[in-house]
Structure 1
Amino acid sequence: MFQTKIGFLKAVIYYGILILPIPLLIMEFKANRNLPEPILRKLISILTIIGLVYLNPLKILFNVTTWKTQTVEQINENKGSHKVELQMRDIGALGYTKRNAEVYYLTKHFYVVLSENYDDRNFIGTDWKRVNQNINEIGLK
């Protein structure tokens, strides 16, 4: 799963997915065209709205926040951008969620999650170096 650490970018994309299909659908119905192409555009907007209702908009809203790295636990010695991290995400009044994730950084702010639940036995060997480096991106004391 491709993710980012830029909260504003992720929020704009998620809110755009939630909000944009409705005005686009209204604009398509206001345009009086009798061509097959607008029917396809209307169908895409309708299917997007149905998909959003099926996925539950509240679930999408709770996933807007980004995962922040608290601790880098292990680093692959061959590929420095391949890490095992303890990450946390703020979920508002409910507190924080935690996960131990195996991630591969494409850039400083974009990464791919290879595994959300890792097993320590898979990382014992010569390729992995235990670091336990405290990052604290959330800023907890």
Structure 2
Amino acid sequence: MSLFLFDIFDLFQTKIGFLKALFYYGILILPIPLLIMEFKANRNLSEPILRKGIPILTIIGLIYLNPLKILFHTQTWKTQTVELINENKENHKVEFQMKDVGALGYAKRNAEVYYLTKHFYLVLSENYDDRNFIETDWKRVDQNINEIGLK
């Protein structure tokens, strides 16, 4: 659940689209059968209410976050260009990224990211400014990656 919240708020990201979609659809679908199973089970009313409360609170939280927004969040950010690389830590980069949002086109961002592995990374800043990187240990590379496959 914490990975879901980190991803919703763009703190922790993955590039594995199938894993992200599976996790999101599971979060959307799983609380409903859990709640039904809890109410169908023959239990005393003295059973802890927490068992029923967790699926109910999860459903309320999902409604608050808007299920359609969650479905549109299943797409992963794809790197188009690596603009800057930190000379001391090669996993620390500034990238131009795009995400397919269906009929709305592509969402775009310049993000300062720190790669934990090849497929998992932390987003340190979504609004990078060139002035923040003047006279520091950054090297401009402007390497074209084109993960989305645009021509």
| Superposition deviation, residue 112 in structure 1 | 0.1
Matched with 2:33 is 23
Alpha-carbon distance between aligned partners in 2 of 1:117 and 1:36, rounded to the nearest angstrom? 49
The CA RMSD over aligned residues, in Å, is 0.8
| Superposition deviation, residue 32 in structure 1 | 1.2
Q: Which amino acid aligns with 2:34?
A: L
64, 80, 86: which one pairs with 2:90?
80
Alpha-carbon distance between aligned partners in 2 of 1:133 and 1:114, rounded to the nearest angstrom? 20
Matched with 2:55 is 45
| Superposition deviation, residue 41 in structure 1 | 1.2
Alpha-carbon distance between aligned partners in 2 of 1:125 and 1:66, rounded to the nearest angstrom? 32
Q: TM-score, normalised by structure 1?
A: 0.97
1:101 and 2:111 matched: yes
SS state of the match for residue 79, structure 1? coil
Matched with 1:36 is 47
Matched with 1:66 is 76
Alpha-carbon distance between aligned partners in 1 of 2:140 and 2:102, rounded to the nearest angstrom? 32
Q: TM-score, normalised by structure 2?
A: 0.91
Count the aligned residue pairs: 140
Query: Aligned residues: percent identity?
Result: 84
1:12 and 2:15 matched: no
Alpha-carbon distance between aligned partners in 1 of 2:135 and 2:146, rounded to the nearest angstrom? 27
